[in-house]
Structure 1
Amino acid sequence: MLRLLSWPILCAMLLALTSCSNFDQEFTVQSANSTVEVYTDGTAFVSEFFDIAVKRAENYGGVYVDIPQRFTDASGGVHWRDFQLAAARRGGLDEYFSIENNVPGYSIYIGMEHCKSCSADLPKVPTKIQIAYWLGRLVRQEGNREVLFLPAYMGRVHGQGAKKTLTLKLPPGGTLRPSQQDRAAAYDVTRSAPNELLVSIPAGKGDRVLPDIEIEYPAGTFVIVTSGKRIQWWLSDHFLPFISILGPLIVALVAILKFRPSWLVPAPLITVDTKITQNISPALAAYLFRNWKADAAKAAFLASVCQLAVKRMLRISSLDEDAEASNLITKQERKKGKPGRSRWYALPAPTRLVFGQIEGERPAGDRRRVKNARPDVRDELHRTVTEEYQKIRGKDRWSLAAAVSILALGIVVASFSGLLIFSTAICGILLVLLIVVTMFRHPERFPVAAGTSEQFSQAAFLFVGLPAIVIAALSYIGTTEVISEQRPYLMAILLHIVGIIAIVAMLRMPTPKQRQIRNNILDLNRYFRGEINGPAMSVECYEHYLPFAVALDVEQRWTERFNLWREREKMDAYAPDWLIAS
């Protein structure tokens, strides 16, 4: 069906020279002529000529020709038509061209350059622009009849009411269907040859609505469409909408996996996982138990000191912050080949850090005050524990892959919908906002430059570069029109951007393994209090879990359980060699 509508000009339509040019001030379309040759396989070869009058000597050096590919059939279904460019010429000679995507189809720029600062202005003489291309998928089935529907040609040319002529070269046997509208008032259709129709559109208003033309053929006139071809057509019809919703679907899937609904969460433990304390430091247990609050630093430090003691790296006078340490394992013993080396490097990094800080304190006799080392190591201990926690987290490859996939999908949607630069402008504004917010919330990430040149570069970036990016982006967004067909895809692109931000935010959430470790720490606290079962009590068990009891602030309760066990077992007094006798 040939649809001569005012907005979906489903053939060539000269729009503008660029988004910032004024076509009406620089060019005038005097006439337009098209020839469409339809073949029995349902495809067509189109050749179009535009007679352009150049008004100004300085111009953008080229014109845009739109080739819309989307069309709506009689039932309201939206379809995508195949397109392949054959030639782009000016004055009969091949001309430089570039192809851009948009929602209706393609925009083909014919001309040497894209800016007024270039010297490739079109001469101020009558100019003839030619474009040739192949079209496919022009036949639909209606019962036992086949209907040839052609894209709309020359309904209007960039708002110009120039005279237009369309020549249709058709397979034999076709019958022109009567129009529902008064065709005579809009244009003339005559049969110039047995298999040729001539459509004459007189000069008139550029926004006029022209009636449809359909040509009916007996069944079997055109090549039978195979099932594979129908599937290919269906995929092309739904490609852009599909990838538009695929990004938000990926975000939803990632969110489901991150938040882990009840049917994905492991059942609560009724006993302690004995492996948990072999894989993490007591300092990390202190931070996890207190949700990374500032008061966790003291418990993490004392728990590390306790672990050093029970591992025989030093001796301490007590388990509180007033303790004194002595008999520290020497650097000579920690060297390669020494007996203490394996025990030393079996310790977690936070514990070795605390030992190094205590070792650096000036001793009084053979003893060092433990609490003197705690203020100096607080920040470094927090950083080391954070690194340990990140190692447990591992690389969240699924989330990173999802973010990259959504970014790629967003770029494809923006490219095919003609909103790539528009979307880039939006992302530029968001990036500037992110930089500004980060500077206020985390000024330590933006250290002040030391040299004069570096300070000048920073000032230029902050007070010139960032505002320039925002102004340029807002200027482009404010001066670029988003047509009605692009708006759903603009919303889809915005959802892709929100999805990427959401996934990046979810990257900071604990992984299932990290949540499992924290749950085990909570279960360990219940074990210390005697609420759930766990490893059988022994001297080795008591000493192994004592640093974690200190980390969870239940050292006294754990020691009481140990003493009760000793009484039941009628053991002698407990005097560990890591505790300095009073």
Structure 2
Amino acid sequence: MLRLFSWLISCAILVMLTSCSDFDREFTVQSAKATIDVSADGTALVSESFDILVKEGENYGGVYVDIPQRFTDVAGSHWRDFDLITARWNGRDEHYFKENIVPGYAIYIGKWHCRNCPADLPAGPGKVEIAYRLGRLVRHEGDRQILSLPAYMGHVHDQGAKKAVTLTIPSGGMLRLSHRDPPAYEITQSAPNEILVSIAAGKGDRVLPDIEIEYPEGTFLGGTSDKLVRWWLSDHFLAFISILGPLIAGGFAVSRLASGRRLPAASKAIDTEMLGSISPALAAYLFRNWKADAAKAAFMASVAHLAVKRKFRISGLGEDAEASDLSAKQARGKRKITGARWYSLPAATRFVFERIEKEQPVVDRRRILYASYGVEGELHKTVLAEYQKIRGKDRWISRAVLSILVLGVAVAYFAGLLIFSAAICGLLLVSLAAVGVLREPERISSPMDFRQVLGMCLGLPGLMIISVCYIVTTEVLSEQLPYLVAILLDIAGILVVAAMLRVPTPKQRQIRDSVLSLDRYLRGGTDGPAMSVECYEHYLPFAVALDAEHYWTERFNFWQESEKMDAYAPDWRINS
């Protein structure tokens, strides 16, 4: 027997309105009636009316009527077609709108407003009328066709009002009787094509069996090919988009992780072209895997880079070093001659120069140590921007996030969980913001304006309270649970895809491999470019960045002795 799982609640239900309305206090359903006219193609025109007593002059301004569409048989879950024709209050066309629920639609009839707004329904008796068309009411069992009509108005908002249903059906059918004792409702077949169903006043939450009428094969017209395709798509649409989001997230993460594993092993050769495209500061961070102690090495490597580029002279490469003869300031003023050379330097190197330039000189000398105080955060941001520029705009990540977001919103919309999902996202965002503040409290150490303080002290806690209250007070139906799980998986998928921004791209991995190869070369562990004064100065900033300056200088001194060269006295060093 065909079971309409969604009809267990009802097909004409005035539901609990919202958290700001008390239906039982404001309204009473006195009686409910419905007429169902079944056509030869198996569709039905349904008209329903509800006699309602408005008990209070101040009320919500309208009522909801739930129209479930989903039914279940041995072949699975299916969806009926639904087309709303009219919605009226006391014989007049009334404002209405449709909300999605898992079984179908919730039709709101009345003025949409909040409490204390001037759109209340007048106190006294009133009548709600709604008309709509349902499709796909016939199924096949062997050589028979079964017309399955839902047990309308088995439950009207927990009210024990009388219900009456008049069914007009094609002739030639045989009514299948319910085997319940006592009968769930009274059925009277007044004519071959008319059935009267009476549901007495009584307990509200009653589960009534469907009304099934058996017909010979061919009584109802079969569905056309385009209808069969449309029915199949409607049956599987929500389930398809529910699993598509997690599949996109999982496939994207696996492909990104697999692409990293397919990279060749680190090359022993020195990629001079690739190393020439990065700053010594970035090499320091990559070598130390972006740990906090990389800032000091990155700063000193940039100092060495500025020195060998003749932007100033330094007394040494230690913490007690001093800088003098900052001629780069005057050189930058002559943009036609040296501007291009200055801006060809990496941003981190220029940032370090500006920090040293701000120090007050003592006899034309500036202490490098003083300039390095408090640069960790800004230097890290500058180097990170360089690293992300190497990565480029990852459009696939943004497309994947957008696709999963759209699918998640669609699932939430069609499952009637849009506000519930928004509350979950609000709770998640507040939690992530709190975790971020705890992990990096220095971000809020700077002075904040009034709006920022108001948002931190009132906005975020208020959003969390509202989200928690809505989640706790809103009931999730058993039919909605699978789709809620799918929405949560979509949220997790967005976080997973966003986390792929931290996974290095193949080019970023190659740059790190080149840095590691350079470290072996500087320490004498592998072959590389032939030693010369130019080679020594070129890789000296990288040697400082990789803590290999001592080994690199020893190799250079050994080469000098083997070549019987004069003493090396670079013009970028301050003579003692």
TM-score by length of 2: 0.88
Residues 416-435 of structure 1 mapped to structure 2, 5 A cutoff: 416-435=414-433
- Whichever residue aligns with residue 474 of structure 1, its letter is V
Alignment correspondent of 1:33: 33
Give the direction of change, closer, same or farther, for the CA distance of 1:254–1:35 in structure 2 (3 Å limit): same
Helix, strand or coil: the match of 2:329? Answer: coil
Give the direction of change, closer, same or farther, for the CA distance of 1:541–1:23 in structure 2 (3 Å limit): same
Q: State the distance in 2 between where 1:247 and 1:263 align.
A: 25
Q: State the distance in 2 between where 1:462 and 1:30 align.
A: 50
Residues 106-255 of structure 1 mapped to structure 2, 5 A cutoff: 106-173=105-172, 175-179=173-177, 181-182=179-180, 185-255=183-253
Q: State the distance in 2 between where 1:5 and 1:248 align.
A: 27
Helix, strand or coil: the match of 1:389? Answer: helix
| 1:224-250 CA-partner distances (Å, limit 9, x unpaired) | 324443332222222222222333323
Q: State the distance in 1 between where 2:16 and 2:320 align.
A: 81
Q: 1:48 Cα shift? A: 1.0
| 1:378-434 CA-partner distances (Å, limit 9, x unpaired) | 554344323322322333333333333333333222222222222233333333334
RMSD: 3.3
Q: State the distance in 1 between where 2:126 and 2:362 align.
A: 98
Q: State the distance in 1 between where 2:55 and 2:118 align.
A: 16
Alignment correspondent of 2:474: 480
Residues 322-471 of structure 1 mapped to structure 2, 5 A cutoff: 322-336=320-334, 338-361=336-359, 370-375=368-373, 380-446=378-444, 454=450, 461=455, 464-471=458-465
Q: 1:105 Cα shift? A: 1.1
Q: Name the stretch that deviates more: 481-490 or 64-73.
A: 481-490
Q: 1:68 Cα shift? A: 0.6
Give the direction of change, closer, same or farther, for the CA distance of 1:321–1:81 in structure 2 (3 Å limit): same
Give the direction of change, closer, same or farther, for the CA distance of 1:338–1:202 in structure 2 (3 Å limit): closer
- Whichever residue aligns with residue 40 of structure 1, its letter is A
Identity among equivalent pairs (%): 63
Q: State the distance in 2 between where 1:522 and 1:69 align.
A: 63
- Whichever residue aligns with residue 497 of structure 1, its letter is I
Give the direction of change, closer, same or farther, for the CA distance of 1:323–1:480 in structure 2 (3 Å limit): closer
Q: 1:3 Cα shift? A: 5.7
| 1:108-163 CA-partner distances (Å, limit 9, x unpaired) | 11112444413443334332211001112222233333322233312222223333
Give the direction of change, closer, same or farther, for the CA distance of 1:84–1:52 in structure 2 (3 Å limit): same
- Whichever residue aligns with residue 190 of structure 2, its letter is S
Alignment correspondent of 2:540: 546
Q: State the distance in 1 between where 2:547 and 2:461 align.
A: 52
Alignment correspondent of 1:282: 280
- Whichever residue aligns with residue 54 of structure 1, its letter is V
Kindly indicate whether residue 266 of structure 2 is the aligned counterpart of residue 268 of structure 1. Answer: yes
Q: 1:88 Cα shift? A: 0.3
Q: State the distance in 1 between where 2:396 and 2:504 align.
A: 14
CA contact (8 A) 1:403 1:503 kept: yes
Give the direction of change, closer, same or farther, for the CA distance of 1:545–1:131 in structure 2 (3 Å limit): same
Alignment correspondent of 1:524: 518
Give the direction of change, closer, same or farther, for the CA distance of 1:342–1:58 in structure 2 (3 Å limit): closer
Q: 1:448 Cα shift? A: 7.1
Alignment correspondent of 2:12: 12
CA contact (8 A) 2:523 2:551 kept: yes
Q: 1:348 Cα shift? A: 1.2
Q: State the distance in 2 between where 1:28 and 1:382 align.
A: 66
Alignment correspondent of 2:60: 60
Alignment correspondent of 1:91: 90
The size of the alignment, in residue pairs, is: 576
Q: State the distance in 2 between where 1:355 and 1:272 align.
A: 28
Q: State the distance in 2 between where 1:179 and 1:129 align.
A: 31
Q: 1:503 Cα shift? A: 4.0
- Whichever residue aligns with residue 65 of structure 1, its letter is V
- Whichever residue aligns with residue 156 of structure 2, its letter is V
- Whichever residue aligns with residue 354 of structure 1, its letter is V
Kindly indicate whether residue 489 of structure 2 is the aligned counterpart of residue 491 of structure 1. Answer: no
CA contact (8 A) 1:21 1:60 kept: yes
| 1:302-356 CA-partner distances (Å, limit 9, x unpaired) | 3223222333334445444444545543434334455433332221122223334
Q: Name the stretch that deviates more: 539-548 or 183-192.
A: 183-192
Helix, strand or coil: the match of 1:106? Answer: strand
Q: State the distance in 1 between where 2:528 and 2:35 align.
A: 87
Q: 1:502 Cα shift? A: 4.0
| 1:171-202 CA-partner distances (Å, limit 9, x unpaired) | 344x2243351488233333334433333333
Q: State the distance in 2 between where 1:244 and 1:54 align.
A: 41
Q: State the distance in 1 between where 2:182 and 2:327 align.
A: 105
Q: State the distance in 2 between where 1:232 and 1:496 align.
A: 26
CA contact (8 A) 2:8 2:207 kept: no
TM-score by length of 1: 0.87
CA contact (8 A) 1:159 1:207 kept: yes
Q: 1:38 Cα shift? A: 2.1
CA contact (8 A) 2:149 2:210 kept: no
Helix, strand or coil: the match of 1:293? Answer: coil
| 1:417-463 CA-partner distances (Å, limit 9, x unpaired) | 22222223333333333444444444444467688xx3xx6666555
Give the direction of change, closer, same or farther, for the CA distance of 1:327–1:207 in structure 2 (3 Å limit): closer
Give the direction of change, closer, same or farther, for the CA distance of 1:563–1:23 in structure 2 (3 Å limit): same
Q: Name the stretch that deviates more: 477-486 or 103-112.
A: 477-486
